[in-house]
Structure 1
């Protein structure tokens, strides 16, 4: 998986995607999701590193079947809030303090 972390005014933004979806566009009805290098590009890491990044995130965007599955398994995202977009999955995380 690929992780990109950046500090924003709202806190730590983490973008996670499966390596095989980077650069792809997925569509479902009126929804179009492009997994750009600019936003999602970063370091290829193992699952432990993804979990550590998501644990620190104030906001996260997660794309890809395995990345979203891991976020659900680890309790960061509720399965009911996962979107199916074309042949992939997408979820967002927002921590409110």
Structure 2
């Protein structure tokens, strides 16, 4: 949350993978990386550090990366809310994984 816009921003872990044709960004709320998420009783997934944890970024950097990306993977309340607020994704594209918002996008 913002105490004063720009002074206390949300932070995210991100990883960027560039290929010949695409730029993939994986962005996750800072506090989710490495945590186990229970999907069903006895079945858990982990917000994998190798997938998300390359660089710690702020909201403006996250927005720039999402705008430049051709493929995106977003995990967490804060990053998904930012993507919806900035019209990068629609609310209908969001699913919940163990109660945590998740969305993917592809630009063609």
When normalised by structure 2's length, the TM-score is 0.80
Query: 1:32·1:85 contact (CA, 8 Å) conserved in 2?
Result: no
Greater helix content? 1
Residue 74 of structure 1 is matched in structure 2 by 86
Q: How far apart, in 2, do the equivalents of 1:10 and 1:32 lie?
A: 33
Provide the aligned length of Structure 1 versus Structure 2.
Answer: 96
Aligned CA distance change for structure 1 residues 7 and 27 (closer, same or farther; 3 Å): same
Match of 1:65 among 74, 77, 89: 77
Find the counterpart in structure 2 of residue 93 from structure 1: 105
The whole-number CA distance in structure 2 between the counterparts of 1:80 and 1:32 is 24
**Structure 1 outlier segments of 4+, above 3 Å:** none
| Structure whose alpha-carbon radius of gyration is higher | 2
CA distance in 2, matches of 1:33, 1:73: 27
Cα distance change, pair 34–10 in 1 and its aligned pair in 2 (3 A): farther
Deviation at 1:9, TM superposition (A): 4.4
Residue 33 (structure 1) shift:
4.2
- State the superposition RMSD in angstroms: 1.9
Q: Secondary structure at the match of 1:77?
A: coil
Question: Gapped runs of 5+ residues in structure 1?
Answer: none
Point out which structure has higher relative CO (alpha carbons under 8 A, 6+ apart).
1
